[in-house]
Structure 1
């Protein structure tokens, strides 16, 4: 029998746009053919060879998820560690994403009604292209389908980990208004939400329209006891931040205390927590234990969304349609005092104080009182994302061929407004007020400038107007766009076969896409203190063709096959990639048991950022293997015995994108079953395998120098293309000394994954006690190995925390109850063990040193209760993290840590409440 998606848990499949149909195992009624995610061919079977997990809009709310992002981040497939709003010093804390099976967040294809979501213009972790899940209006979502495994044969590039298809509501029975207010059980995080939607019918024209407004107040680190101050119960004693510090070079790693007032003038800073501090064996300084509280854990967010779906029935066989969505997202966050500071070393490296006869450095953090309150010094982003689709669909003449032709234009524009300290103005301010005049070179001939600083002024807080004299906001603009023309031709019963109707589908796509990241010019000209940026821009055209067949070989056996060819053209260069897939469905016991398997390929085309990111410089200490070899030291001993002139030499590196990159390719297969022993019950288990090749990374400079040496020494053919390429990336001066290295992005990495997922869903009635629906979902990453560069040994990511802190297992369970006007859901998430902080520092032999280990599992509960006091009114009360469960505390973090947990895996938001009311006008 077909499986109903349960109201409280996640169903294994759910196909109709207007709700699932309950089918008794004995029913002989023929279903109308429908289109399901994972196939272009309309069909009567909901469960196919492709496992599908569905989250309905009712499930999303009942389980306590206020946004699409929250639902997808909690799904058990999302086992990977990801940067999020807590990682305020990352590149995209305002965007929300997820990592499925521990794979790169860019390996998931996200669709809205089967069409690609616009790419987020800023780069995740400075290199990866992602989609921002924060721009999807939750109340206008009908359901979310997730197809794990490679899906490129139908959906093209990016669909390596899987496909997420977000189905929007096409019809709303009556006008509806939904309002929600949420508040935090601790402090911060209050949120408000309102949405309106309706469907309008005018003869042959139908319009469904909705709008949503949402706001979230920030949660500051000061709002949580775990993050308001430096960790007190870790592997070392808590140490106050060094807010006013003078480094001493006479005694290594020690400080001078030169404040004549002994920090008396600073004690009003950081909320009155600043004072004289001491670090054992290092010295005294002025500092606060509470400076970590100045950062945000969750940002100040404002979103607005509009969605419309319109159709016009031109005839009985032809319909015109149009979809439009617009989303605005304003995010604000703060990284706090940890990155808002001044130091003399930026301009002078060291300065010489003749009264101390020593080379020193001065360092100062800016307090909330100096900044004017960190809430007034937030990093701001403004995102405007819209998509317009126009199309027509219908039947060709009197045939059974169905067509769907559409054109789509989408844009995502981003404005970033970070607070900056302008380099010249800030250096001038401290030169005048603290350092005084430059007295010339130091007398010891080391080339450092001489100053007699005014130490009392250094230890005196500056005014907010002084801070504003050298601080202000930058403006960086970025955008992505896509234009796609698409046509599908389908025939669900082209011919009769022993098992039923043969179905076929053809797809044709063509279009172009672009990306432009244009930083504020001051970031590119060294005009900003402590910040820099890399610009990039590029565009390309693309086309694709795909073909799908569904062949019912026998009543119990169906074969499905599909193939696709994609090509991307940049100037005169074309990158292309074919993909194919074969799937089997076997029903030996009718609807009681489905056995399924799938084998195919998937790929990810080089992103525009991978191809067109501009050059950036870095410095690296490396070994000049060529010159070491000339002195008689071969590579096996060069890093140990070669003279320092050529060993550990500091070299300027250059890295950039690479237009010559190849697509990332993957071979993937899955096998599993669905068992339905009684109506409305399903037990499903599936095994997944990926073998991914040619992943993109910056070229390894050390291996490049080894290759260059082998080429120059005649060990490799110097005239070969590989030798010529290696030599061209190494720069030497007239003396043959190494002075530069170029490491662009290249296709070098490989990884393999084995994973298993098990789910159970059941809906049953207990008469007057109501209807119950338990649901269980479990994901286990059985193996995950990664090869950074060709020739390297594979790294076992499940046992190498230096490389990965992903969860191996993830489990969720829910129990839903419905009785006339009442409803309730209890939802639980269990996160498996993860490595502690100390073992993530051990690159060579993890879990061998004292203190290295794993953290306990983390379990949280959400609950919701709903009631219908009136026919048209629903009210709900929702509690997230019912028992206020905090993450497992990691006591291996040192006392210099601002949070005793891994922010990419856990959060300390704690218990949160919300009340929601939904009113439908009319009957």
Structure 2
């Protein structure tokens, strides 16, 4: 099956590595000489022996005799994932060297997709990766990444049922169509196991929380012409709380400002008639004594420099989750039926069910004076304070008031499946093979989010604290609150009376009929047989996000004396509604020409067409690949082509969606003299302005297009050793831009101080997308009005360019009586990453502008595996490169005082496996052996918790896993 010494070296290294977990070959009967094969069924019979001369490699539709081709392919086997200490498929992919981009995950408990996991290849958007399961497109996750982008979640893949994963970096649209810009990830599931196999695993963490329990079972059988594999996996994870880790349990103790407690009971004066300076007013005659039992007895009188006194605690961050509470069940079956020597029927089903729970703690469980949101963003006028003052009240709910945050977690339920039915075979004794199949995927999501009911909550605080409205003053409502009543805990019964759950539904579905004709021996050329593959596919897909109707409704609140206000039904919460569907078809052709023994040309082209909303969106892509082998231990390769991404259904059909959040008003803070390392001292309301965000789809969007190319070398200087280095390039146009609120606010400031040309499109766009109230002058300083709303719509305007290097090293050595040793290493480095928002704007160098990107520039990992007799052990190290610190990302430079880069983060994993008897393997796996926490970023202010970038790092720490894998002898019906 393998022609060259180079291919032998690659396969031998993989073969050594795949034995790392179960030295007795307990995992799978898939041949290690086919590490990248999509068709891993049982070996064909003698009548089909001619087919053994070629394998189907991910990245090509034509069976071939070479493992390494013009397309770089990274393969991770199931055994390698376990030996390197990975607990999930998501971990294995996210920790790979090519996953350099910052991404939201389970630590982002206030995001739209806390319960999903994804990755960014080489810093490109998460939606630029095409995910396949056994070569078929994976269905999209129903939720939207960052409330806007359609993407795939990799959290529901059952690790114990995976055979291997192939990763193709670089544009692959000429074979795989839309989304395959950054690369393709093909998850290949098992097709056969040697015997009934039971796997049991238990895991725990050194610092508490996050306990893991997993059980799986798989078996294969053959009954005449029928063969089948079936498997199940059950998993249960306990939550990990912020209080379980010292780095997240309290506020930042070594920041740019003193550690500052949360504002749990707050009265704020923003403006006074008598000239009194704005600041906090402690209106409690008992100096927080009535609330001292809250937050485990840590609630006390606190002081915030430059603002004043209030009641708060240092321990409030601890009630949020770091890892989800999860229950998950997976079922999978692969079946074939040999009709005759030339026809085989097949059917696959992969099913996933999960329940996940999380909470953001008091950060999103609080009340504030929101009666005058439209007039003054939560402020009211009190004529009794300082001769008349503009005031704000706030109360964050403690665990004692809510009955424990464990009992009010938001919940998400996901049901998904992927079904494939088809037939494949050979036309008589010819060289023509066919494969005709139908795939249906379906993913349904139920979101049960904990909510504050605006009407009952406002009524409660109106009755107990604010009192009836007395009138208005300059557009602000007038109250005379009972301030002392604010400093009293809310009973659990009262808390339950104004809280509850919203229930939202979302789903995606996809139907695809795909037919392929292949001839690996079309005609002869000097280098061998030319091959061809032709694919036709068609189908339809849909997306529907149907939030709880109450999330889109307003209620009228009566504040007495004839004063009423409309407010959202759920306090401070909105949703992302939308629905749409489209049909599509595509045609693909690939030709492989071995022009000489040393030179092979691969040509592929594809045309995709989407019918959506009464219009047609079409795009063609192509690829040219060359393989040159001057001698049998060296491969020089290169590819040039195009890629594209069609507008997603959410890009086109997302209805106007609102959300509520806080943002720093950098422009007004800057005018008041607060920027850089003293930005946290900026006074209210500018330090954290509450605003209403709006985003919506654009049915006029065009496809994102890209020019892509790679070139590289693979060298096998000695037996069982291979080295590869590939250079990758992307030039992406028509990219859909949706700038974040913090970026827009910071851009306004940079435009105001002329760091960015005020006449540029960037500046005019930022000013247009931010809605402000009337301006005013404070202490002689002219300020713009307070931020009221920010619109982040979608447009085909951006350009992005990336140059990167991806390298790997593999070596397997037989050390005689000492055993066998296997080395493996990969390395990725971004050499260039530029981004241009609008065509007339200058290109931003993301590697030197930390305000635009906090991605890792480089990542590297290496493993060493030793195998001897019944023992095997692996040591794995992962090095994350430098990233900008918080202050650098806020100021967008590395020159101001306090800015800089964080050092490399290096994590070690280890595993050991022992086979006391032939059919039993016992394993110990350790993640993060040295319990390394994220590099502490002391440029965060003391008002924040978790001094690290949660989109780059995690504080999970050391974890242990005990695993037993038992084979029950021969499979049933064998």
Aligned to 2:416: 385
- How far the C-alpha of 1:889 sits from its partner, in A, is 1.0
Change (3 A) 1:894 1:116: same
Residue 655 of structure 2 is aligned to residue 614 of structure 1: yes
| Structure 1 segment 259-658 matched on structure 2, within 5 A | 259-347=284-372, 349-356=378-385, 357-441=388-472, 445-525=473-553, 526-590=568-632, 592-616=633-657, 655-658=695-698
Name the SS of the counterpart of 1:553 in structure 2: coil
Task: Describe the superposition over 1:673-706 as per-residue Cα deviations: whole angstroms up to 9, x where unpaired.
Answer: 1110111100111100000000012499999xxx
Task: Describe the superposition over 1:310-338 as per-residue Cα deviations: whole angstroms up to 9, x where unpaired.
Answer: 11000011000000111012111111111
Task: Describe the superposition over 1:520-563 as per-residue Cα deviations: whole angstroms up to 9, x where unpaired.
Answer: 11111121101011310000000000000010000111000000
CA RMSD of aligned residues (A): 2.5
- How far the C-alpha of 1:437 sits from its partner, in A, is 2.0
Task: Describe the superposition over 1:492-517 as per-residue Cα deviations: whole angstroms up to 9, x where unpaired.
Answer: 00111100011000000000000000
State how far apart, in whole Å, the 1-side matches of 2:812 and 2:160 are: 25
1:9–1:813 Cα contact (<8 Å) kept? no
2:15–2:32 Cα contact (<8 Å) kept? no
Indicate which of 188, 191, 211 corresponds to 1:170: 191
Residue 941 of structure 2 is aligned to residue 890 of structure 1: no
Residue 82 of structure 2 is aligned to residue 61 of structure 1: yes
Task: Describe the superposition over 1:645-677 as per-residue Cα deviations: whole angstroms up to 9, x where unpaired.
Answer: xxxxx9999642111211101100000111101
Task: Describe the superposition over 1:768-822 as per-residue Cα deviations: whole angstroms up to 9, x where unpaired.
Answer: 1111001111111000000011111101011111000000110101000111100
Aligned to 2:896: 849
- How far the C-alpha of 1:360 sits from its partner, in A, is 1.4
State how far apart, in whole Å, the 2-side matches of 1:540 and 1:291 are: 47
Residue 135 of structure 2 is aligned to residue 114 of structure 1: yes
Residue 260 of structure 2 is aligned to residue 218 of structure 1: no
2:573–2:660 Cα contact (<8 Å) kept? no
State how far apart, in whole Å, the 2-side matches of 1:184 and 1:209 are: 32
- How far the C-alpha of 1:293 sits from its partner, in A, is 0.6
- How far the C-alpha of 1:17 sits from its partner, in A, is 8.0
Larger deviation, residues 168-177 vs 391-400: 391-400
Name the SS of the counterpart of 1:418 in structure 2: strand
- How far the C-alpha of 1:886 sits from its partner, in A, is 1.4
Name the SS of the counterpart of 1:477 in structure 2: strand
Task: Describe the superposition over 1:189-242 as per-residue Cα deviations: whole angstroms up to 9, x where unpaired.
Answer: 100000000012111111100000011111100000011000111111100000
Change (3 A) 1:282 1:571: closer
Aligned to 1:182: 203
Aligned to 1:6: 14
| Structure 1 segment 94-243 matched on structure 2, within 5 A | 94-243=115-264
Q: TM-score, normalised by structure 2?
A: 0.84
State how far apart, in whole Å, the 2-side matches of 1:360 and 1:266 are: 22
- How far the C-alpha of 1:413 sits from its partner, in A, is 0.3
Which runs of 5 or more residues in structure 2 are unaligned? 20-27, 36-49, 554-567, 662-689, 745-767, 772-787
- How far the C-alpha of 1:130 sits from its partner, in A, is 1.1
| Structure 1 segment 668-747 matched on structure 2, within 5 A | 668-698=708-738, 744-747=793-796
- How far the C-alpha of 1:618 sits from its partner, in A, is 8.7
Indicate which of 902, 917, 920 corresponds to 2:949: 902
State how far apart, in whole Å, the 2-side matches of 1:98 and 1:699 are: 20
| Structure 1 segment 43-58 matched on structure 2, within 5 A | 43-58=64-79
Change (3 A) 1:135 1:588: same
State how far apart, in whole Å, the 1-side matches of 2:500 and 2:844 are: 45
Which runs of 5 or more residues in structure 1 are unaligned? 24-28, 621-649, 704-727, 732-738
State how far apart, in whole Å, the 2-side matches of 1:909 and 1:616 are: 34
Residue 924 of structure 2 is aligned to residue 877 of structure 1: yes
1:92–1:122 Cα contact (<8 Å) kept? yes
Name the SS of the counterpart of 1:101 in structure 2: helix
State how far apart, in whole Å, the 1-side matches of 2:281 and 2:108 are: 33
Name the SS of the counterpart of 2:14 in structure 1: coil
Residue 778 of structure 2 is aligned to residue 770 of structure 1: no
State how far apart, in whole Å, the 2-side matches of 1:406 and 1:281 are: 68
Residue 897 of structure 2 is aligned to residue 830 of structure 1: no
2:426–2:432 Cα contact (<8 Å) kept? yes
2:380–2:392 Cα contact (<8 Å) kept? yes
Indicate which of 798, 801, 818 corresponds to 1:749: 798
State how far apart, in whole Å, the 1-side matches of 2:770 and 2:120 are: 36
Change (3 A) 1:509 1:22: closer
1:827–1:863 Cα contact (<8 Å) kept? yes
2:16–2:812 Cα contact (<8 Å) kept? no
State how far apart, in whole Å, the 2-side matches of 1:899 and 1:653 are: 25
Residue 964 of structure 2 is aligned to residue 922 of structure 1: no
Task: Describe the superposition over 1:10-40 as per-residue Cα deviations: whole angstroms up to 9, x where unpaired.
Answer: 99xxxx98132399xxxxx996211110011
| Structure 1 segment 242-261 matched on structure 2, within 5 A | 242-248=263-269, 249-250=271-272, 251-261=276-286
2:29–2:192 Cα contact (<8 Å) kept? no
State how far apart, in whole Å, the 1-side matches of 2:363 and 2:691 are: 28
- How far the C-alpha of 1:741 sits from its partner, in A, is 11
2:574–2:658 Cα contact (<8 Å) kept? no
Task: Describe the superposition over 1:48-70 as per-residue Cα deviations: whole angstroms up to 9, x where unpaired.
Answer: 00010000010010000111100
State how far apart, in whole Å, the 1-side matches of 2:34 and 2:481 are: 81
Name the SS of the counterpart of 2:895 in structure 1: coil
Task: Describe the superposition over 1:144-179 as per-residue Cα deviations: whole angstroms up to 9, x where unpaired.
Answer: 000000001111100001100011100111000000
State how far apart, in whole Å, the 1-side matches of 2:514 and 2:65 are: 25
Change (3 A) 1:827 1:222: same
